[in-house]
Chain A
Amino acid sequence: MGDIGLLGFGPDGWGLVLFRAGLMTLAVSVAAFLCGLMLGTLVAWGRVAGNGPVRALAEGYTVVLRGVPDILVIYLFYFGGRQVVAAIGTALGFPGPFDISGFVAGMLAIGLISGAGQSEVLRGAYQAVPKGTIEAGRVVGMGRLTLFRRVIAPQAMTTALPGMGNQWQSVIKESALVSVTGLVETMRQVSVAAGTTQEHFLFYAAGAVIYLIITTLSDQLFRLAEKRSLRGHHGAGF
């Protein structure tokens, strides 16, 4: 078993780089989750309210993303994306070389994957809003926007929060796949450190701890948000 001092923050320790790598994992996860949230909202809306073609497109997207390995999506965005950018760049007459960053490719790929899951959660939450409360909003003269903002969204959010928490956890774990692009996030950094020092067990264990810290803390945050949003919902009759 290795020297625990290797994890320290001193000049010989890997502590600082691991800390930075943890922050990068957090950054790419947040970016990807928000990407997925935008996409998921759009797709959920398309599936609930869209006309025929829109609905088909939205459903097609979820079907494709469910059936394709995540790592393939990342390769597609990183290597395939680079090819597309190069082709467009050359066509527009820019001098090469062309590149796209691992961060952007990872964010888009994980966002795309997560968007499919998030759209499911959001659609389910929308459908769980009691129809009567929507009618009550319409009958006092609310327009579509007010109805969504004041009646549908607050109730759907309460239902969606646990599911969205799960989606967030998945995004954090999937973010490890972005290491294949060379982006120095936790996974990449611990494998570099393990390779350099030959302390595999120590550094992969340290990597696990970093992921656990992030997932546990965010889990607490989601629980807090759930508790807040559940005010009033438990009691007689519900």
Chain B
Amino acid sequence: MTALTPGQTPALSVTGLRKNFGANDVLRGIDLAAHDGDVISIIGASGSGKSTLLRCIPMLEIPGSGTVSVGADSLSPKGGRLTRAEEARARRMRGHLGFVFQNFNLWPHRTVLQNVIEAPLFVQGRSRAEATDEAMALLEKVGLTDKRDAWPAHLSGGQQQRVAIARALAQHPRAILFDEPTSALDPELVGEVLKVIRALADEGRTMLIVTHEMGFAREVSSRVVFLHHGQIEEDGTPAEVFGAPKSDRARAFLSSHFDRNR
């Protein structure tokens, strides 16, 4: 399902992506493209490679082989490392992405507002006034304007993750990557974060979401990808993947998941 509409460049794509950690082949040839407005959920068992796949896109992990493209830029690193020139291009590509971590990874020595304006000020070189205005609008979107001067350590996990989402949005990203955004949260805090992500989907944002929240994936995605042992086993609309999975493994995974959640 990576067929391109002729003449349209995807927001991001990976082709032939491989990655191994020692003898462990984590990704074994992944092809995936996201067009503007796509919301793609990536599901699969632990160790299936979904987080690694997501982390390879901004080169937090350097792929062993294959190509990653973001907008007009693309990288095909060789041998698990980046040259100086490739590193510069990787930084440009990161500038067009937003990334939301499982553990939030806010900067603990900066307040909520400072976390959001950090990259606009010190990476993109925008003015403080402009960055602050925009950050306040983003904090309003995630419902945290009253926490602008709070320290991350004083926030709940759900609040921290919403700040992290505002920080990602401040990048003006072409696409946002979510790496299990609710897995580190207490159950009662999951909802507030999913609500924010759902609102972003409704805005037509382009998103890749690695998640274990099957109900949410089914509801919010335009497309669902099932990963197994570093390969894409199933790729289709939520109705196709959840309703009538073609592979046995996808069927087994989904039934175990829905049983457990019931």
A128-156 CB contact bits vs B (8 Å, 1 = yes)? Answer: 00101101111111110010001100110
Q: Which of B58, B109, B151, B171 has a CB less than 8 Å from the CB of A235?
A: B151
Asked if A135 and B122 sit within 8 Å, CB to CB, the answer is no
A56 to B205, CA, bound (A): 50
Decide yes or no whether B103 CB sits under 8 A from chain A. Answer: yes
Residues of chain B lying within 8 A (CB to CB) of residue A139: 58, 60, 94, 97, 99
* Interface size range on B against A: 20 to 34
Q: Which residues does chain A contribute within 8 Å of B156, judged by CB atoms? A: 236
- Do B119 and A141 touch (CB < 8 A)? yes
Whether the Cβ atoms of A133 and B94 lie closer than 8 Å is no
Question: Which of these, B91, B109, B155, contacts A155 with CB under 8 Å?
Answer: B109
Nearest Cβ on chain A to B114's Cβ, whole angstroms: 10
- CB-CB under 8 A for A238 and B122, given A139-B58, A139-B99: no
Residue of A nearest to B109 (CB): A154
> Is the Cβ of B94 less than 8 Å from the Cβ of A140?
yes
Nearest CB on B from A179, distance (A): 42
* Least CB distance, A157 to chain B, in whole angstroms: 9
Are A238 and B171 also in contact (CB < 8 A) when A138-B60, A146-B123 are?
A: no
User: Of residues 67 to 83 in B, which have CB atoms within 8 Å of A's CB atoms?
Assistant: none
- Which of A132, A138, A154, A232 has the most chain B CB atoms closer than 10 A to its own CB? A232
Query: B152 and A140: CB pair below 8 A?
Result: no
* Cβ-closest chain A residue relative to B154: A235
B99 neighbours in A (Cβ, 8 Å): 136, 139-140
B interface residues with partner A (beta carbon < 8 Å):
58, 60, 91-92, 94-95, 97, 99, 101, 103-111, 118-119, 122-124, 151-157, 167, 171
Contacts A140-B119, A141-B91, A141-B171 supplied; 8 other A-B pairs, CB < 8 Å: A132-B105, A136-B167, A138-B94, A139-B94, A141-B95, A150-B122, A155-B107, A235-B153
Question: Can you name 23 A-B pairs with beta carbons within 8 Å?
Answer: A132-B101, A133-B106, A135-B105, A136-B99, A136-B105, A136-B106, A139-B60, A140-B118, A140-B171, A141-B92, A141-B95, A141-B119, A141-B123, A141-B124, A142-B119, A142-B122, A151-B107, A155-B107, A158-B109, A232-B108, A235-B154, A237-B153, A238-B153
